[in-house]
Amino acid sequence: MKEDMISAIKSKKKVKLEFFSKEDAGKLIQICAPMDYGPSRRAHDKSD
């Protein structure tokens, strides 16, 4: 997944993300243009 995100950033392509949201208690699907790669500022575990 990391390589896909970095490739999308370099080629300026949109990506489809599917993830589980604790706040929304379910799976969310987002289509977005990635701007950077790294942990969220809100993340408790920033090791990724």
Structure confidence by residue, pLDDT tens digits, 1-48: 778 888 888 888 888 989 998 988 999 998 988 776 767 777 676 665
Query: Whole-angstrom Cα distance, residue 34 to residue 17?
Result: 10
Q: What total of structural domains would you count in the chain?
A: 1
pLDDT number for residue 20 = 93
pLDDT number for residue 5 = 81
Q: Which domain holds residue 16?
A: 2-32
Query: Whole-angstrom Cα distance, residue 41 to residue 39?
Result: 6
Q: What is the pTM of this model?
A: 0.49
Tell me the HSE value of 34 on the side-chain side, using a 13 A CA sphere. 20
φ, ψ (nearest 5 deg) of residue 5: -65, -45
On whether residue 10 sits in a domain, the answer given is yes
Compute how many other C-beta atoms are within 10 angstroms of the C-beta atom of residue 34.
Answer: 17
pLDDT number for residue 28 = 95
On whether residue 46 sits in a domain, the answer given is no
**Within 1-48, where are the H helices?**
2-11
pLDDT number for residue 43 = 66
